[in-house]
Each structure stands twice: as structure tokens, then as C-alpha cells.
Amino acid sequence: MRLGLIAGNGRFPFLVLDAARSMGHDVTVIAAREEAFADLNDAAARAQAPIHWISLGELGTCIRLMKDAGITQAVMAGQVRHTKIFAGGIVPD
């Protein structure tokens, strides 16, 4: 399986990456520039997984990267703070 890992902050994206690779899945990491930890670069390199850093508002880029990589399944792992998602706008209750 070709898996797209959309990574937020925290350690969970690292755990998902390691687990997916240990199961034999090809993984492409799409890291949220405003959230994901920089050492995800090293983890992706060790897992031989391509990594792309995009901003939270670049949904079209995220979809294009996944299509180009032939991804058939995607998972989001890690926190994305709602204040980052709604920066400059009204944050819902």
C-alpha cells in the first residue's frame, strides 16, 4: 500500500511512520510546516520516505503531492492547533 502521512506536531507522526514502514507500506510524509517537528526530516530519511513540507492552507498542494505519489490511503497523525487553522479569522467555539 502507498500511504500518505499528513503530519502535525508531537511524537505520534513518528510512531505512525515507523509502524507503517515496519508493515511494509510505502509512505510519503506531508508535514504541516507550522506544526510538525523538524526532526521528522531525519525520521523520514531513515524510513526511506519522501517528505514534503507544506503550509496548512495548501490543501490543493497536499492532494497533488499524494496523487503524484500514487497514494491510495492517507492518515493524519499529530496535533494541529485550531488557532493555527483559523489564524486571522474567527475561531468557532
Residue 8: the pLDDT is 95
Residue 71: the pLDDT is 95
Classify each residue of 69-85 as buried b or exposed e, where b means 16 or more C-beta atoms within 10 Å of its C-beta.
bebeeeebbbebeeebe
Q: Which residues make Cβ contacts (< 8 Å) with residue 84, sequence separation at least 6?
A: 34, 35, 56
Q: Taking residues 70-88, what's their average pLDDT?
A: 79
Residue 83: pLDDT band (50, 70, 90) is low
- Residues 11-64 have pLDDT tens digits of 999 999 999 999 999 999 999 999 999 999 999 999 999 999 999 888 889 999
Residue 92 scores a pLDDT above 70: no
Distance from the first to the final alpha carbon of the chain:
38
